[in-house]
Structure 1
């Protein structure tokens, strides 16, 4: 999709998210939510919270059997939000003489840690002050061969209760404007308005309306401006004991509310709390399904690719209502 003048978040003033935090204030927040030396195996982080009881409780939320996938289409088109387009080409068209049946094959490849592909961030993806989750020194455990701690292959699949924080539905808007921060009080208000409670082991998804805004107004650079969580929401989510965080952006509000730090929520969630992130989802169909069902909790299934040494994985999370 091409960009338009309307699509630029700079065509209007960005929301005022209050005075920026200093790095000293951020470091104090990092220490307050840090969950190191808590789990074995450590490189599964907060996914260790999810027990068979959590899975059974999630399965009990399935009532209609409606399944809702949340991955964006494989994005091969360059644009302001897709600087490294995915590849897809046919490697066999079945047109070479061969025994029946003929065969059609294709090739795909992607540098998925960007804005154009729905993906999961593993615990090896983000280091803060040179350290990964659990205090591992990044240079010691991540090299040209991949990650030797916190790889996506250590995570495996996740089945747990999902909670959709549908902020546009709560506020009666089509979307949150890029730059709008979601604060702790917004999370509490959304729980009350939507009739949900974030519990231990839950997967929390934020719908900001990013996908709808992009469809209606065109693409923009979300590295410059995007709706997402303010760092002041993270102590609440840490207190609740979440296992996974994600949404239709990459969870961080931008511009960053922390001086000199581009992705502070990434550092707090992944590096401090051991919570993997789901980036660039399309929760529009889930929003409609939840509204129709009258509930915003569901069974959530996430199955990343088994990539030894991988810092994450393209993924297609599925909600089951």
Structure 2
């Protein structure tokens, strides 16, 4: 399938659309974007990663941020109640789908200047405003039908840069470059295959876990919020476009935040390519296991929640070795 993907230099495909878009590559009504790269053959081949049966969860608890989630998102609430006279319990959860581990869906972030989402979908299409019929187009439920399953690779930037003696400030705007990620893969001996699901351990979760409540409160009050992540650059975009079906990381924005260019990677990845963005994955146990066994590839199974028209979803993800 890799030979059927246009070169990065061929973008934008829709010459009347925004920069770097791949609109129409899989048809004008497509809602899977780069998940189309996870063909049956690619998923079948990825199953060879299962050798020991070891399974590692990479979801952060839904209530992990407590009452202090970043970006002003609502906290997770859980109500457990008995149903007398039976010895039976039910529970009710209310939460923002992006207050813990998440896949950003195609309704989340559009091209800001052009006001368009993947394949030209508008706010009117989503909200049913200005005389346009409301629809579930680009909803997260489309991804739930087959899940996000395939060969995952962990690029443990945090482990690599620590060994290099390089400084890293999780709560300051800073760049992880394409060259950095390629160097991590080389150092680990990790082969990158077309269609892989890229997982990046930046070191955010390690840093977050060391903060006091007062320090978290101070960080979340910043305007704008600042995080280290992958840089906004042609090199990063080409690296992602050429190799991967999706990408996730352990921090709140995947990319360096705020953007240092006149565009955000969220625009190009979500609205331009239909490329799933994962954030706030808990990669501490995964990183430790990969280091222990000397292998950073695995079979990844993620099942977004089947909510038609949903914006985002907990990943419900497990790495299987």
Q: Pick the TM interval, shorter chain.
A: 0.7 to 0.9
Structure 2 match to 1:248: 250
Contact 1:159/1:299, CA 8 A, preserved across alignment: yes
The answer to whether the Cα contact below 8 Å between 1:198 and 1:204 also exists between their aligned partners in 2 is no
In structure 1, what is the equivalent of residue 82 of structure 2?
93
**Which of the numbers 12, 22, 25 marks the counterpart of 1:38?**
25
**Separation (CA, whole Å) in 2 of partners of 1:45 and 1:229:** 21
State the partner residue of 2:160: 170
CA contact under 8 A between 2:105 and 2:276: conserved in structure 1?
Answer: yes
Cα distance in 1 for partners of 2:54, 2:85 equals 44
2:204 match? 210
Listed as ranges, the matches of 1:1-321 within 5 Å are 33-40=20-27, 42-75=30-63, 77-79=66-68, 81=70, 83=72, 84-90=74-80, 92-94=81-83, 96-98=84-86, 102-113=87-98, 116-128=99-111, 129-143=114-128, 148-156=136-144, 157-172=147-162, 176-178=168-170, 179-218=173-212, 219=216, 220-221=219-220, 224-232=225-233, 233-240=236-243, 242-249=244-251, 250-259=253-262, 261=263, 264-321=264-321
What TM-score do the two structures reach when normalised by structure 2? 0.81
Deviation at 1:208, TM superposition (A): 0.9
Please list every run of 5 or more consecutive structure 1 residues that lacks an aligned counterpart in the other structure: 1-27
C-alpha deviation, 1:176, in angstroms: 3.3
Structure 2: runs of 5 or more not aligned:
1-14
CA pair 288-201 structure 1, distance change in 2 beyond 3 A: same
Contact 1:158 1:302 in 2 (8 A): yes
Which shifted more, 294-303 or 75-84?
Answer: 75-84
Distance across 1 between alignment mates of 2:312 and 2:157: 27
The 2-side partners of 1:66 and 1:45 are apart by 30
**Do 1:142 and 1:149's aligned partners in 2 also have CA atoms closer than 8 Å?**
no
CA contact (8 A) 1:130 1:139 kept: no
Take 2:259 and 2:245, find their aligned partners in 1: how far apart are those partners?
A: 24
Against the structure 1 CA distance between its residues 293 and 143, is the aligned structure 2 distance closer, same or farther, given a 3 Å change threshold?
Answer: farther
How many pairs are equivalent? 282
The RMSD of aligned alpha carbons is 2.4
- Is residue 163–residue 296 contact of structure 1 (8 Å, CA) maintained in 2? yes
Taking a change above 3 Å as real, the CA distance of residues 136 and 80 of structure 1, as seen in their structure-2 partners, is closer
Q: Give yes or no for contact 1:43–1:150 (8 Å, CA) kept in 2.
A: yes
